[in-house]
């Protein structure tokens, strides 16, 4: 990462790497304690990083998808950490203390919950299911009941309720957006964080890494399951999701 950029973002000067995760790096910015730079990487991991890969342009594609979706959600009155884009790979975002819960919303059963309950993948749900997983790589992000989330001090009762309400609102907005581009939103994972005043914002990313998206016509998977399950055409699927989103959001 260079110390400054030439594009729209000359006002932001990158200071130092403060965190590196599986798919993103977080940098501090000179003179700003309350905002950070989030850089999207080309790497792709699954099963708690037991399976590793990458593809060229993945960081750029996921950055663009996240920017489009966070911009769309902001218009739908969802408070997000996104402030502005920074070059091809990065965004400027509010610095938040991440709540250690992965909030998963399911509209159709697939993945871990289908497997755990012995139900067929593709079983539609009468109403969306919200689940919490504890963000802890060493424990492989276990499922938490609400009471377990409280026991772990991950959030308060009121915060758990707010996370569910926000996740369901995001779900409704995304279902109607993806329907316009012939995709079914099967499930997704979001993360939230708190600013220095304790206000909660949608954080992290929304990309094919953390959603299941099935083409409405062909039922083709257009998300990270292509990588998890060795289905091929991973790069092409992510790019197709981006291209379809651009048609309705730009």
Counting contacts by CB under 6 A, is residue 178 touching ligand TMP? no
- Report the nearest approach of ligand TMP to the CB of residue 112 (Å): 3
User: Nearest 5 degrees, angle CA 200-CA 185-CA 203?
Assistant: 20
Measured from the CB atom, the residue of 49 and 151 that comes closer to ligand ASP is: 49
In which element (H, E) is residue 113 found?
A: helix 111-117
Q: How many Å apart are CA 82 and CA 86, to the nearest integer?
A: 11
Query: How far is Cα 104 from Cα 129, in angstroms, rounded to an integer?
Result: 8
* Contact call for residue 210 and ligand TMP (CB under 6 A): yes
Q: State the binding partner of 133 from ligand TMP, ligand ASP, none, CB within 5 to 8 A by kind.
A: ligand TMP
> Is residue 133 within the footprint of ligand TMP (CB under 6 A)?
yes
Inter-residue contact 15 to 4 (CB < 8 Å): no
Task: Measure Cα distances from 56 to 61, 132, 144, 223 in Å.
Answer: 9, 32, 35, 16
Yes or no: say if 245 and 208 are a contact pair by the CB < 8 Å rule: no
Selected range binding ligand TMP among 31-39, 81-89, 117-125, 185-193, rule: CB under 6 A = 185-193
Task: Phi first, then psi: give them for residue 22, nearest 5 degrees.
Answer: -70, -30
Shortest distance, position 145 Cβ to ligand TMP, whole Å: 15
Rounded distance between C-alpha atoms, residue 77 and residue 218, angstroms: 32
Residue ranges with strand state E in the chain: 14-20, 24-29, 32-40, 43-46, 51-54, 82-86, 90-94, 97-98, 101-108, 124-134, 143-144, 183-194, 200-203, 211-215
Give min distance, CB of 28 to ligand ASP, in A.
Answer: 24
Residue 76 site contact among ligand ASP, ligand TMP, none (CB < 5 to 8 Å, cut-off depends on kind): none
Q: Which is nearer to ligand ASP, 47 or 197 (CB)?
A: 47
Strand partners, 104: 131, 189
Q: Does 71 bind ligand TMP (CB under 6 A)?
A: no
CB of 142 to ligand ASP, least distance (A): 11
Q: Least distance in Å: CB of 190 to ligand ASP?
A: 13
**Which of residues 211, 222, 234, 245 is near ligand TMP by CB under 6 A?**
211
- The residues, any chain, with a CB within 8 Å of residue 90's CB and separated by 6 or more, are 37, 38, 39, 40, 63
Indicate which single residue of 187, 204, 239, 240 sits in contact with ligand TMP (rule: CB under 6 A): 187
Shortest Å distance, C-beta 189 to ligand TMP: 3
Q: Which does 129 bind (CB under 5 to 8 A by kind): ligand ASP, ligand TMP, none?
A: none
Task: Kindly state whether residue 222 participates in binding ligand TMP, applying the rule CB under 6 A.
Answer: no
CB of 42 to ligand TMP, least distance (A): 17
Binding site for ligand TMP (CB under 6 A): 102, 104, 110-113, 133, 141, 187-189, 210-212
């Amino acid at each position: 990462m260079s110390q400054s950029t030439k594009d729209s973002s000359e006002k932001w000067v990158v200071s130092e790497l403060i965190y590196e995760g599986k798919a993103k790096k977080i940098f501090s910015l000179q003179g700003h304690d309350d905002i950070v730079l989030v850089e999207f990487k080309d790497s792709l991991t699954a099963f708690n990083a037991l399976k590793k890969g990458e593809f060229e342009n993945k960081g750029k594609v996921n950055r663009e998808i996240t920017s489009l979706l966070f911009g769309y959600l902001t218009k739908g009155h969802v408070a997000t950490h996104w402030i502005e884009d920074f070059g091809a790979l990065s965004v400027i975002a509010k610095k938040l203390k991440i709540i250690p819960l992965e909030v998963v919303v399911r509209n159709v059963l697939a993945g871990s919950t289908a497997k755990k309950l012995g139900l067929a993948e593709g079983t539609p749900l009468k109403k969306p299911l919200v689940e919490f997983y504890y963000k802890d790589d060493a424990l492989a992000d276990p499922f938490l009941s609400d009471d377990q989330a409280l026991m772990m001090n991950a959030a308060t009762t009121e915060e758990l309720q707010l996370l569910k309400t926000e996740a369901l609102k995001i779900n409704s907005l995304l279902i109607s957006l993806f329907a316009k581009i012939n995709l079914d939103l099967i499930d997704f994972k979001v993360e939230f964080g708190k600013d220095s005043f304790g206000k909660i914002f949608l954080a992290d990313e929304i990309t094919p890494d953390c959603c299941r998206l099935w083409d409405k016509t062909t039922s083709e998977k257009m998300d990270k399951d292509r990588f998890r399950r060795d289905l091929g055409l991973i790069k092409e699927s992510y790019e197709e999701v981006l291209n379809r989103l651009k048609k309705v959001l730009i």
